[in-house]
A = this chain, B = another copy of it.
Amino acid sequence: MEAFNNIEGLRPFFEPKSVAIIGLSRKTGKGQHNALENLLDYGYKGRIYPINPNATEILGVKVYPSIKDVEGPVDLAVLVTPRSQVPMHVRNCAEKGIKCITIVTQGFTDAGDAEGTNLFGEILETADAHGCRILGPNSFGSANAFFKFGSSFARVTMQPNPVGLICQSGGLFNGLSEFSFVGKAIDVGNICNIDFADCLEYFEHDPEVKVIVLHIEGMPEVPRFLKVASRVSRQKPIVAIKTGKSEQAARAAQSHTGSLAGKNEIWDAALKQAGIITVNSLEELVDTTRVLCMLPPVRKADVCVVTFSGGTAIMALDGLRDSSLQAGSLSPSTLSELKKIAPPWLPIGNPVDYWPMVMGSDDRLKMTEDIFKIILKDDKFGSLLFIQIIHDAAQSHEIIHFLNKLVSQYPDKPIVAALVGPYGAECVKELQTEGRILAFHAPERAAQALVRSFQYAQAHPEC
């Protein structure tokens, strides 16, 4: 019943047929962060009811003085009014039969004052009496690239990718640096009656979501969350960052979303036990999500490092330190095949430093392909980490072509690339836009991505 409540009950946050924006500003254009303008730009197909007593029309859309003046049914109401007016608007919405309400307004449990707490209490009372689901307060709302919908005043990048994000921060929601691959997002904010567990349950049954990402500052009902997460993580990978780790950060989290951060060690252990992959920084969160989305899981402890540069390969090995992954020795047959190609003085091992093997060749690319074929058929290795120095645009183009060919020929082998050198960053960016090859700027990050994938596969041998 609870699951049904969440699947059908939360649907209007992701696929609303109609949405009312209560307290919508008349200001539009550059830098005004107007939610209506965003909806129109996304190409949202549902009905939009802007509510503002001081306007009759914004961007060509009819404006209503109050939610009571809207004739038709409303799937979702988004509130952006001053905090003192929020309880009244919630009551008006509830009386109109609106079941889903997003409260963007801040200043409730996060304010830490008596008035904020009282106002929050009033909201909760109305919600209980009318069976309303309240997202927030202090929430950026929800977004769904598959439905061309986003309720936030902040413009999000709409890319229908199979990642569902549940967060407690506009910064995360808003699509951090390399995070534009999030297809659906929901910001639970200060958590009135939509918690992490509810959203997890929604994504559990959402066929468009393949990987779930959590940004947790804190939550009221940890045991229920862990129970649901344990079930969901057996079906879809869940990656989580728990922030507020230092004492100061925990205090800031309390004033940010009214969350009690809780002890780090307990959180870490509990999340792990629930089958969740935990990370410690924003970059790790992005990298881990990308590896779980893009590659088949790493199922064997041995990784083969194939490199153009010995020094950076050693950094990659340092990146495997304290993990269960290792660069184990080559199989005897692989070793003997490589020996045939290599100069006689070259010690061959793992990392495979292949520059001395190709430097004398007239067709270095062909030679490189031969080397990769030999290595990729070595079943000992569950994954391959490729390191190359990229000098210029021409070489970048060549490597992208080479990698694309490689992953189409070996779709079952997880392959990551660390592309360094003067043109490495550009090459990585191009590959990210293409979205077929998983590449990083730094060898340690490429290594860590494989470590996370192996962690996931070990925690979930059934997947």
Contact = CB atoms under 8 A, between A and B. Distances in A.
Interface of A: 30-31, 83, 106-107, 110-113, 115-116, 154-157, 167-172, 174-178, 180, 215, 217, 241, 243-246, 248-249, 251-253, 255-257, 280-283, 308-315, 317-321, 326-327, 343, 345-347, 349, 351, 353, 356, 364, 387, 389, 391-392, 394-395, 398, 419-422, 424-425, 428-429, 441-445
A337 B226 CA distance: 44
B249 A421 contact: no
Nearest to A113: B345
**Copies of this protein chain in the complex:** 2
A353 B175 CA distance: 19
A177 B282 contact: no
B311 A256 contact: yes
A171 B315 CA distance: 11
A156 B311 contact: no
A440 to B, nearest CB: 9
Nearest to A387: B171
A318 B249 contact: yes
Contact of A345 (B115, B177, B387): B115
A169 B389 CA distance: 12
Contact of A346 (B111, B115, B180): B111
8 contacts: A107-B345, A170-B389, A171-B308, A175-B422, A246-B321, A248-B326, A249-B318, A252-B327
Given A30-B394, A283-B441, A444-B283, A256 B314 contact: yes
A341 to B, nearest CB: 16
Given A31-B394, A395-B31, A312 B176 contact: yes
A286 to B, nearest CB: 9
A162 B118 CA distance: 59
A177 B425 contact: yes
A163 B248 CA distance: 35
A311 B168 contact: yes
A252 B315 contact: no
A178 B441 CA distance: 9
Specify which of A248, A257, A312, A425 lies most central, judged by the most chain B CB atoms within 10 Å of its CB: A248
A27 to B, nearest CB: 9
Contacts of A156: 422
Contacts of A169: 309-312, 314
Contacts of A157: 422
Q: Which of A356, A422, A429 is the most central at the interface, judged by chain B CB atoms within 10 Å of its CB?
A: A422
A424 B281 contact: no
A157 B178 CA distance: 26
A345 B111 contact: yes
A441 B147 CA distance: 29
Contacts of A111: 345-347
A180 to B, nearest CB: 6
Given A171-B310, A178-B441, 12 more contacts: A30-B394, A107-B346, A111-B346, A169-B310, A175-B421, A175-B422, A177-B425, A180-B422, A249-B321, A252-B349, A252-B351, A282-B444
Contacts of A347: 110-113, 255
Contacts of A154: 389, 391
A318 B246 contact: yes
Contacts of A112: 347
Contacts of A327: 248, 252
Contacts of A282: 312, 315, 420, 442-444
Contacts of A441: 177-178, 283
B248 A171 contact: no
A29 to B, nearest CB: 11
A23 to B, nearest CB: 12
Nearest to A172: B311
